[in-house]
Chain A
Amino acid sequence: MRQLLLAAAALLSVGGTAQAATDIDFFFPVPVQGKLAIEMTRVVEGFNASQSDVHVTPVYTGSYDDTNLKTRAAISAGKPPAVALMSANFIREYAIDQKAMSLDGLISKGGQTPQAFIGEFFPAVRPNATEDGHVYGVPFHNSTPILYYSVEAFQQAGLDPEKPPVTWQEWVDDAKKLTKHDGDHLVQAGVEIVSSYDYLGWLTSGFAMSNGGDYFNHGWGGEVYYNTPSTIGAVQFLDDLVHKHKVMPEGVIDASAASSAFFSGRTAMMVASTGALGFVRDNMKKPFKVAFMPRAMRNAAPIGGASLLIPTGNSPERQQAAWKLISYLTSPAVNGAWSRFTGYFAPRMAAYDLPEMKAYLAQDPNAKVAIDQLAYGEPWFATFNTVGVRKALEDQVQAVLSGKAKPAEAMAQAQKDADALLRPYVEQTALKLPQ
């Protein structure tokens, strides 16, 4: 019944109503498992109930990639949403393409300088939210990859659950002890790493950075470093996990397959986003713990997550209303509550000063791991045509994971494909020299 009323209300609101409040829409994705869409709707309803100037319609728009598509489509058709929760690494492209507005003006109106404003968020998330020194996105929830592992499996293999692997070498050694074979076949995997589109690019960047390298040019969206020893080494490591050490199944593993395997005990360890912590907590019936991503040369954790942006093409009225929503969603209390529900960490540092957050971290040490790993946080991969350039890498790494390619040639091909996609941008920027 309630659904029907909501539906009727949604249909009616298309034509516009004569309310005094400003009506705005808010596109948001749900990129990891869990009942996040329902919770977000609840949070927005809380905002609507708390004041009467702005009425927000939350619109669930699928995955990060889908939300990007829908937002761009809406902008092209002249009906942009007032606020969109956008994957943090897409903010750069929106700024380059001038599809999102700079938030400096709205920040200043609130009485702060943009630098002071962004200074209230963890350092690791700041680079993805700004472009050219201007603030384009306000970080909302962030994650890092973490290592989930089954306490029971560790104990059975004679390993100490309080001592998860810290280096790649330890990781391989532990994984070998945790793997069970039946002849040639993997019956219990040592580890499963999610390798579907978007996830894989993110995780690979972490491995490459841990292996010493810098995966992309942080300051300019025209360069990526796939065909470099650090990246090749990282991909070789993934290849070895499957084909040399035989601790990971061959082929591409998507998030639901990895989590199903973890829950049913078919894998002892799993590499996934901390944003799935809530989901794993609800569904893993056996005891589990989480740990930092093991390191090669150094600890490095790419930041994932999303920031709120305001697309171009919105009237000043809508912009004001949008800013009110953004301020609410990123306020320490609301941001903290969302973090506790999902497992994402709250990028707003002040959220960790609140008593609820302190109690939560004391009670659930797993949640603290992602926060602690932030000390090693690196920005998320962002370039011109991020999705295409990312897929150029992912297609090759997937081929390596499936035994169809060797890391060196795969990375050479990935670099070639990526460079071809970056060429139009490069020609108009770095290679456009004075006549």
Chain B
Amino acid sequence: MKAERVFLLLAALAGLLWLAPFAWMAVASMRPDAPGQADLASLWPSGPFGWDNYRDAWESGHFPLWYLNTALLCVGILAVQMVTVSLAGYAFARIDFPGRSTVFALFLLQLLLPPAVLVVPNLQMIVHLGLFDSLAGIAAPYCASAFGVFLMRQTFRSIPRDFEEAARIDGASRLQIIRHILLPMAWPGLASFAVVSVSSHWNEFLWPLMAVSSPQHQVLTVGLASFTLASESGGSWGVIAAGTALVALPLLLGFTLLQRRFTASLASTGLK
């Protein structure tokens, strides 16, 4: 139908526009740097290519440290979240207790109060707990995840009760049921959640910026900001492009490989 074609064309145009910044990032990062040259902004690959900018960026920043910190942070948060969201998700899915909807509302509310909004009191809280300037201090406010609890509630609900009944008859405790029956069956939901969790925490900036002051605990986002936007590399756009690429590439690659998981997690929030 004609309308569909037009829409598709417009969407393709949007795609080109959306891609432009990434195209520049790719081209400029490979082009040898010379501030003031005429084709700084050119999107056409031109002239000699080299990895010089990547080498400069790698040497000026502390990328291995930042990668390590960020990976530790995201994995750590995920590990704790797996426990908190599975247990809570199970409770909401299978146990009918008094005040369930009120408690669920309390969880829902957390969606609207992300750690970024509460930086001031949270900062005081982690100083109080002695966690200031540590990866654990950054991780702490993220460990309870309302999104994760919804996801697990939906996931558990969609598993037929027969398996649990059978296990109950056999004398298994709730924890055993969760661990050995429900979690393995909830694997798709958990995987989707893992993808969303890691990608969102990988990109957090304001809270890690405030919770940590020494460079050995800095994460990628904070490191990137100090690297590209402080005057240190001002004007060396090729190096900035390379540095940005170093930060952006892992997630970009991860996303292209794991798209399905990501979209699946959104679908299973029950919006149908």
On A, residues with C-beta under 8 Å from B are 3-4, 6-7, 10-11, 13-14, 25, 30-38, 59-63, 66, 70, 73-74, 76-77, 79, 255-256, 259-260, 262-265, 279, 283-285
Are B213 and A74 in contact, CB atoms less than 8 angstroms apart?
yes
Q: Check: B256 CB closer than 8 A to any chain A CB.
A: no
Within residues 121 to 157 of chain B, which ones have a CB less than 8 A from any CB in chain A? Answer: 127, 132-133
Chain B residues whose CB sits within 8 angstroms of the CB of A262 once the complex forms: 36
Let me know if B22 is at the binding interface, CB within 8 A. Answer: no
Give the distance in Å from the alpha carbon of A34 to the alpha carbon of B35 in the complex.
12
The interface residues of chain A lying within 8 Å CB-to-CB of B234 are 32-33, 255-256, 259, 279
Query: Using an 8 Å CB-CB cutoff, how does the interface string of B197-236 with A read, 1 for contact, 0 for none?
Result: 0000000000000100111100000000010001111110
Cβ of B24 under 8 Å from chain A: no
* B233 / chain A contacts, CB cutoff of 8 Å: 33
Compute how far the CA of A262 lies from the CA of B230 in the bound complex, rounded to whole angstroms.
19
21 CB contacts below 8 A, A to B, read A3-B65, A7-B62, A7-B64, A11-B216, A14-B216, A33-B231, A38-B60, A62-B230, A63-B230, A70-B213, A73-B213, A77-B213, A79-B132, A256-B231, A256-B234, A256-B235, A262-B36, A263-B235, A264-B35, A264-B36, A283-B36
| Measured CA separation A30–B62 after assembly (Å) | 16
**List of B residues within 8 angstroms of A285 by Cβ:** 34, 36
Q: Which residues of B contact A6 (CB under 8 A)?
A: 62, 65
Bound CA–CA A199/B132 (angstroms): 31
Residue B59 interfacial (CB < 8 Å): yes
Q: Which of A3, A264, A284 contacts B63 (CB 8 A)?
A: A3
Inter-subunit contact A3/B62 (CB<8 Å): yes
Q: Quick check: A66 and B226 within 8 Å, CB to CB?
A: yes
Q: Is B68 an interface residue when CB atoms closer than 8 A count as contact?
A: yes
Q: In the complex, how many residue pairs between chain A and chain B have their CB atoms under 8 Å apart?
A: 99
Q: Which residues of B contact A4 (CB under 8 A)?
A: 64
Quick one: which of A3, A25, A62, A263 contacts B35, CB cutoff 8 A? Answer: A263
Interface size on B, residues (CB 8 A): 28
In the complex, residue of chain B having the shortest beta-carbon distance to the beta carbon of A199: B231
B95 at interface, CB cutoff 8 A: no
**A263 and B215: CB pair below 8 A?**
no
Question: In the complex, which residue of chain B has the Cβ closest to the Cβ of A31?
Answer: B231
Known: A37-B60, A38-B60, A73-B210. 12 other contacts (CB 8 A): A6-B65, A10-B216, A11-B65, A11-B68, A35-B232, A38-B59, A66-B226, A70-B213, A77-B127, A260-B36, A260-B235, A285-B34
A-side contacts of B230, CB under 8 Å? 30, 62-63, 66
CA distance A62 to B210 in the complex (A): 14
Using CB atoms, name the residue of chain A closest to B63. Answer: A3
The complex places the Cα of A260 from the Cα of B65 at a distance, in Å, of 31
Q: Are the CB atoms of B68 and A60 closer together than 8 Å? A: no
B58: interface (CB < 8 Å): yes
Q: Given A33-B234, A66-B230, A283-B235: A3 and B213 within 8 A (CB)?
A: no
With a CB–CB cut-off of 8 A, which chain A residues contact B3? none
Give the chain B neighbours of A30 by CB distance below 8 A.
230-232
Q: Which of B235-253 contact A (CB under 8 A)?
A: 235
Pick from B36, B68, B210, B231: contact of A7, CB under 8 Å: B68
In the docked arrangement, what's the CA distance between A255 and B231, Å? 8
Residues in A with CB closer than 8 Å to B226 are: 60-62, 66
Asked if B38 is at the interface of the complex by the 8 Å CB criterion, the answer is yes
Contact B235 A265 (CB under 8 A): no
The answer for the CA separation of A36 and B60 in the assembled complex, in Å, is 10
Determine how close the nearest CB of chain A comes to the CB of B249; give it in whole angstroms: 17
Q: How far is the CA of A32 from the CA of B232 in the complex (A)?
A: 6
A34 near B232 with CB under 8 A, answer: yes
User: What are the residues of chain A within 8 A of B34 when measuring CB–CB?
Assistant: 283, 285
Q: A60-B226, A264-B36, A283-B36 are in contact. Are A74 and B231 (CB under 8 A)?
A: no
Q: Kindly provide the distance from the CB of B133 to the nearest chain A CB, expressed in whole angstroms.
A: 6
Q: Closest Cβ of chain A: how far from B45's Cβ, in Å?
A: 21
Of the listed residues B65, B132, B230, B235, the one surrounded by the most CB atoms of chain A closer than 10 A to its CB is: B235
Assess the A36–B232 pair: CB atoms within 8 A.
yes
Known: A31-B231, A33-B231, A36-B232. A61 touches B38 (CB 8 A): no
When distances are taken between beta carbons in the complex, the residues of chain A under 8 Å from B35 are: 259-260, 263-264, 283
- Rounded to whole Å, the gap between the CB of A425 and the closest CB of chain B is 23
Of all chain B residues, the one with the shortest Cβ separation from A264 is B36
Instruction: Give the residue name and chain of the B residue nearest to A9 (CB).
Output: B216
Smallest beta-carbon distance A291→chain B, Å: 21
| Distance in Å: Cβ of A268 to nearest Cβ of chain B | 14
CA distance A34 to B231 in the complex (A): 8
Which A residues touch B232, using CB under 8 A? 30, 33-37
| Least CB distance, B6 to chain A, in whole angstroms | 36
By the criterion CB–CB under 8 Å, are B36 and A265 in contact? yes
Interface residues of B in 44-84 (CB under 8 A from A): 58-60, 62-65, 68
Complex CA distance for A30 and B232, rounded to whole angstroms: 6
Instruction: Chain A residues near B235: list those with CB within 8 A.
Output: 33, 256, 259-260, 263, 279, 283
Contact B213 A7 (CB under 8 A): no
Find chain B residues with CB under 8 A from A279 CB: 234-235
B216 and chain A: residue at smallest CB distance: A10
Contacts of A11 in B (CB 8 A): 65, 68, 216
In the assembled complex, how far is the CB of residue A242 from the closest CB belonging to chain B, in whole angstroms?
23
Cβ of B186 to closest chain A Cβ, rounded Å: 35
